[in-house]
Amino acid sequence: MTTKKIVLLDGNSLAYRAFFALPLLTNDSGIHTNAVYGFTMMLQNILKEEQPTHVLVAWDAGKTTFRHSTFSEYKGGRQKTPPELSEQFPYLRKLLKAFNIPQYELENFEADDIIGTLSRTASEEAVKTVVISGDKDLTQLATDSTTVCITRKGITDMEIYTPAHIEEKYGIGPLQIIDMKGLMGDASDNIPGVPGVGEKTALKLLKEYGSVEHVYESLDAISGKKLKENLTNNEEQAYMSKRLATIEVNAPITISLQDLSYDGPDEEQLTSLYKELKFTTLLEKMGVEGVESEPVEVIEVETKHKLTAADLSDQMAVHLEMMDDNYLTSELFGLAMTNGERVFYVPLDDLKQDDVLKKWLADPGTKKFTTDAKALFAALAAIDIPVSGIDFDLTLAAYIVNPSLSFDDVSEAAASVGWNGIQKDEKVYGKGAKKAAPAIEEIAQHAGTKAVAVWNLFETVSEKLRQNEQYELYHNLELPLAIILGKMESTGVKTDLATLQTIGTELSSRLEHLETTIYELAGQPFNINSPKQLGVILFEKIGLTPIKKTKTGYSTAADVLEKLAPEHEIIEHILLFRQLGKLKSTYIDGLSKEIHEDGKIHTRFQQALTQTGRLSSINPNLQNIPIRLEEGRKIRAAFVPSEPNWIMFAADYSQIELRVLAHISQDKKLIDAFRADEDVHTKTAMDVFGVTKEEVTSNMRRAAKAVNFGIVYGISDYGLSQSLDIPRKEAAEFIDTYLASFPGVKQYMDTIIVDAKQRGFVSTMMNRRRYLPDITSSNFNLRGFAERTAMNTPIQGTAADIIKKAMIDMDRRLEAEGLQARMLLQVHDELIFEAPEEELEQLKKIVPEVMESALELDVPLKVDSAYGASWYDTK
């Protein structure tokens, strides 16, 4: 006989959870499916993990329940269910039917009460029960035989509440959760509780007195005048709140445990529902064949070994097919081309010898439409085949239309603008150990579909960009930039391995010593790099007090360790070990591996990735080379000019984001400060602290600087309090004073949020967009995040626009002046060049000039420049 195990699910709560956790997916018949999909994932996980013998999904019935007769405003003020979710409930019912899972609802009662009643009867029969919900109220049902799982983040992450866990987390028993709600109320259900009592106070009272009743019996003993007053005045309300929060465990249900047995899904029903909903991944997992939504259309691709002028026209879609996504190192296969009539594929070896084709590629007068301009340009540059006249980049265009969609494959970029005819590279080449090149015909076919997609999408996507007034941004900024970035990537940065090795040797020996010291202090060897092992040593063996927890255990992050440093000598050594270990593994060892045969590092700039319009740098990342601490900064000495008697030259914008803020917000004081070329942090300190310039201390300036950062990031008192390590209240006061003295900024912050809510997106000065669907969310966190993003993105994004424009201007200027200087890197607000010494004086003049005039703002842009024998010396 198998032991019974019953799983009870709170249908409404989980459906809501799934709906808000996932983006609004729509299948091709226009039905939203995110809640159903999320629910399905949850269900599958639960069934797999728990292996129950009995399952039930309980639903809320109707609008009113017995609780409304106690308190008519129960669950009042709730937003009504979004229609996008409502329309999914019938599918959820169908889904459960297909799973053969019983569903139950009861007039006048909530799902909670059904679950409560069943879990009580199960408990009485000592049947193991698991309750699953997104609502923490249910934790009151936890007993030795009933476990309550509450969804945490996302859809599959659950927090498991046993009586022991509740005790550990809150210091009270499961049933006292009800008392807690009675005292603190519950905003989401509109349960009032006692004003001024939140979780902290409620728990303190309950730990001392045990229940709401005992709290009131002991009123006299309670300290705190205000608290006592609030309790006294709201006694009835507290009792009522407790009643409302109590789950009914004796609901008049008409089902019993026997009715809930679960024997697995009806596969046939399930597949047909999945097909209807287009849950292809789920279908594949079930091993159902032939369900790929549409079979990819087979196009006729002609493999050509030699082209004639007649094969080529003024406008063509071209796509360079290759094995890996790193076009700088990948094996290249060949070029697919089409002008809408025939589709060719030219294998690489033929391309290399085909002068007709090479001439066409180099001709700026023939237009090339492609999937990734930079890849085409840089990959062919590496084999000395110049390309010019690239006029359309599908990935870049799709990114400008909506940067929130991430494309790690052309098929996804194409799909985002409505073209589903491309297979994923992964499907053609396989992945991991199984990755291999298929037959040439298959490669040609795959490459051909990409060229065809580009050809067919060119017009519509361009039109879409024009409609959004983003064509300029795309065509005159991003597209030319792609080529410039391609040049920079191909050029690469000369990196001196010997310098890295010298630093590395010293680091190794220091790390060894630190390791010995740490083991001695700990009394045993352990893996210092393992947060888990480190946590055990610090907080269990040594007995330090944990300050912060992570999901998986004790936090050992630097800010935590710094606070612990006075407690034990070992901490400073660990911090140093971490710092040096990072330098050794990421920078010394990591960078050494990336030096190519030409002695250079060729990073790649991702141009269609960030949400704000910034670039990012990968393989390796050259945008995060250490600078803040001297030890790390030395790494920069390894980056040197690639030619004898050349120098490194660096130029960076001073306070570009705050200048952009001054311009966008039109705050008079901020504008004046920049026009007068004042130190903006000092100026901020003067205003926030109400002192004269002479009275500003370095601490005041530091605080002001943090406030300015906060403003740019979309401020929150909590964030500022963390960065300054001050109480939250103080941080809030700083912010208020700041906003009062810079009213234009305040106005901007308020307006941008309203604007974002209304339009659904925010934009930069050059019309780069970022959509913010969460800005209207009822979830406090999501909404808060979206609001801060709304404040930050126009600033960070406009700064990104500006430097991109500067790079284009700079490239032209270097060309026009006939200079040999080369642009090598962009690090968000700075540009790094190498140049012959003789060009230094010219660069000192030209570079700041070009950067400062990239875009005209109502405040001046300011650029500082420096040069030296290595990147380290450009300071």
Partner DNA sequence: ATGTTCACG
Partner DNA sequence: ACGTACGTGAACATT
| Between 457 and 703, CB nearer to DNA | 703
Positions 23 through 62 that interact with DNA (CB under 7 A): none
Among 30, 439, 781, 856, binds DNA (CB under 7 A): 781
Among 96, 650, 670, 720, binds DNA (CB under 7 A): 720
> Cβ of residue 286: shortest distance to DNA, in angstroms?
19
| Between 243 and 582, CB nearer to DNA | 582
| Rounded Cα gap, residues 822 and 432, in angstroms | 37
> Cβ of residue 15: shortest distance to DNA, in angstroms?
20
Positions 251 through 280 that interact with DNA (CB under 7 A): none
197 binds DNA (CB under 7 A): yes
| Between 100 and 610, CB nearer to DNA | 610
Residue 538 token pair: 């610090």
| Rounded Cα gap, residues 786 and 771, in angstroms | 9
> Cβ of residue 191: shortest distance to DNA, in angstroms?
11
Give the x/- contact pattern for DNA in 649-688, rule: CB under 7 A. Answer: ----------------------------------------
User: Interface with DNA by CB under 7 A: which range of 23-31, 59-67, 73-81, 786-794?
Assistant: 786-794
Write the CB contacts of 215 (distance below 8 Å, at least 6 apart in sequence).
183, 205, 206, 209, 222, 231
> Cβ of residue 242: shortest distance to DNA, in angstroms?
15
List helix spans (H) across 141-220: 163-170, 176-184, 199-209, 212-217
| Rounded Cα gap, residues 190 and 237, in angstroms | 12
784 binds DNA (CB under 7 A): yes
> Cβ of residue 768: shortest distance to DNA, in angstroms?
12
Q: Which amino acid is at 622?
A: L
> Cβ of residue 527: shortest distance to DNA, in angstroms?
5
Q: What is the DSSP letter of 564?
A: H
Check: CB of residue 362 under 8 Å from CB of residue 386.
yes
Positions 557 through 596 that interact with DNA (CB under 7 A): 557-558, 561, 575, 578-579, 582-583, 585-586, 589-590, 593
Positions 62 through 81 that interact with DNA (CB under 7 A): none
103 binds DNA (CB under 7 A): no
The number of beta carbons lying within 10 Å of the beta carbon of residue 196 is 14
User: Interface with DNA by CB under 7 A: which range of 206-214, 313-321, 707-715, 758-766?
Assistant: 707-715
| Rounded Cα gap, residues 130 and 76, in angstroms | 30
Among 63, 225, 226, 551, binds DNA (CB under 7 A): 551
Residue 465 token pair: 């960009």
Among 556, 798, 865, 874, binds DNA (CB under 7 A): 556
Among 24, 160, 187, 691, binds DNA (CB under 7 A): 187
> Cβ of residue 824: shortest distance to DNA, in angstroms?
15
Count, in order, helices (H) and strands (E) of the chain.
38, 25
Residue 213 token pair: 């009743």
Positions 606 through 645 that interact with DNA (CB under 7 A): 606, 609-612, 614, 616-621, 623-629, 632-633
User: Interface with DNA by CB under 7 A: which range of 29-37, 43-51, 111-119, 776-784?
Assistant: 776-784
> Cβ of residue 79: shortest distance to DNA, in angstroms?
13
| Rounded Cα gap, residues 459 and 461, in angstroms | 6
184 binds DNA (CB under 7 A): yes
| Between 356 and 536, CB nearer to DNA | 536
Q: What is the DSSP letter of 565?
A: G
Q: Which amino acid is at 179?
A: D
Positions 280 through 309 that interact with DNA (CB under 7 A): none
Positions 724 through 753 that interact with DNA (CB under 7 A): 728
Among 73, 199, 426, 643, binds DNA (CB under 7 A): 199
| Between 145 and 616, CB nearer to DNA | 616
| Rounded Cα gap, residues 450 and 321, in angstroms | 9
715 binds DNA (CB under 7 A): yes
| Between 216 and 526, CB nearer to DNA | 526
| Rounded Cα gap, residues 367 and 371, in angstroms | 13
The number of beta carbons lying within 10 Å of the beta carbon of residue 194 is 25
| Between 187 and 691, CB nearer to DNA | 187
718 binds DNA (CB under 7 A): yes
| Between 210 and 626, CB nearer to DNA | 626
Check: CB of residue 60 under 8 Å from CB of residue 111.
yes
Which neighbouring-strand residues pair with 763?
A: 769
| Between 108 and 201, CB nearer to DNA | 201
| Between 272 and 527, CB nearer to DNA | 527
716 binds DNA (CB under 7 A): yes
Write the CB contacts of 859 (distance below 8 Å, at least 6 apart in sequence).
659, 662, 663, 670, 671, 674, 675
Among 792, 798, 865, 874, binds DNA (CB under 7 A): 792
Q: What is the DSSP letter of 595?
A: B
| Between 159 and 213, CB nearer to DNA | 159
Q: Which helix (H) or strand (E) holds 535?
A: helix 531-535
| Between 368 and 578, CB nearer to DNA | 578
| Between 455 and 674, CB nearer to DNA | 674
Check: CB of residue 371 under 8 Å from CB of residue 378.
no
> Cβ of residue 739: shortest distance to DNA, in angstroms?
13
| Rounded Cα gap, residues 297 and 360, in angstroms | 29
Positions 506 through 545 that interact with DNA (CB under 7 A): 527, 529-533
CA distances from residue 591 to 411, 506, 622, 824, 869 in whole angstroms, order as listed: 32, 16, 9, 16, 19
Positions 317 through 356 that interact with DNA (CB under 7 A): none
788 binds DNA (CB under 7 A): yes
Positions 810 through 839 that interact with DNA (CB under 7 A): 827-830
| Between 453 and 658, CB nearer to DNA | 658
The residue to which tokens 């065809």 are assigned = 452
Query: Could you tell me where the beta strands, DSSP code E, fall in 120-272?
Result: 128-133, 146-151, 158-161
Positions 108 through 167 that interact with DNA (CB under 7 A): 157
Burial profile 654-670: b = 16 or more Cβ within 10 angstroms, e = fewer: ebbbbbbbbbbbebebb
Q: Which helix (H) or strand (E) holds 43?
A: helix 34-50
Check: CB of residue 468 under 8 Å from CB of residue 401.
yes
| Rounded Cα gap, residues 787 and 762, in angstroms | 10
Positions 439 through 498 that interact with DNA (CB under 7 A): none
Query: Could you tell me where the beta strands, DSSP code E, fall in 470-586?
Result: 493-495, 549-550, 553-554
> Cβ of residue 136: shortest distance to DNA, in angstroms?
9
Q: Taking the CA atoms of 777, 778, 784 and 790 in sequence, report the sign of the dihedral they define.
A: positive
| Rounded Cα gap, residues 719 and 785, in angstroms | 12
| Between 77 and 295, CB nearer to DNA | 77
| Between 456 and 606, CB nearer to DNA | 606
User: Interface with DNA by CB under 7 A: which range of 204-212, 230-238, 685-693, 778-786?
Assistant: 778-786
CA distances from residue 292 to 157, 276, 295, 393 in whole angstroms, order as listed: 29, 13, 6, 28
Which neighbouring-strand residues pair with 320?
A: 335
Terminal-residue alpha carbon distance, the chain: 77
User: Binding residues for DNA, how many (CB under 7 A)?
Assistant: 79
> Cβ of residue 554: shortest distance to DNA, in angstroms?
7
Q: Are strands 103-105 and 54-59 parallel, antiparallel or unpaired?
A: parallel
| Between 34 and 612, CB nearer to DNA | 612
| Between 81 and 777, CB nearer to DNA | 777
Interior angle at CA 715, CA 710 and CA 716, nearest 5? 120
